[in-house]
Amino acid sequence: MPSPSLAALTGFERKIVVGVGDLAVSNNPAVVLATYLLGSCLCVTIYDPVTRGGGLLHLMLPDSSINPGKAALQPATFADTGVPALFRAAYQMKADKYRVQICLTGGAQFMDNSGFFNIGKRNYETVAALLEQHGLKVQAMEVGGLVSRTVSLTVGTGEVRLRVSGKTEEVALWERA
pTM of the full predicted structure?
0.89
Within a domain: 162: yes
Of the candidates 55, 95, 61, 103, the residue with the CA atom closest to the CA atom of residue 78 = 61
Average pLDDT over residues 154-174: 90
Domain harbouring 129, CATH code? 3.30.1330.200
pLDDT band at 11; cut points 50, 70, 90: low
Q: What is the CA radius of gyration of the chain?
A: 15
Range of the domain at 154: 6-174
What's the domain count of the chain? Answer: 1
Within a domain: 68: yes
pLDDT band at 9; cut points 50, 70, 90: very low
Express each pLDDT in 84-142 by its tens digit: 999 999 999 999 999 999 999 999 986 655 555 689 999 999 999 999 999 999 999 99
pLDDT band at 168; cut points 50, 70, 90: confident
> H or E element: which one contains 69?
helix 68-73
Residues 100, 50: Cα–Cα separation, whole Å: 9
Of the candidates 105, 87, 106, 79, the residue with the CA atom closest to the CA atom of residue 21 = 79
Q: Is 126 exposed, middle or buried (0-12, 13-18, 19+ CB in 10 A)?
A: buried
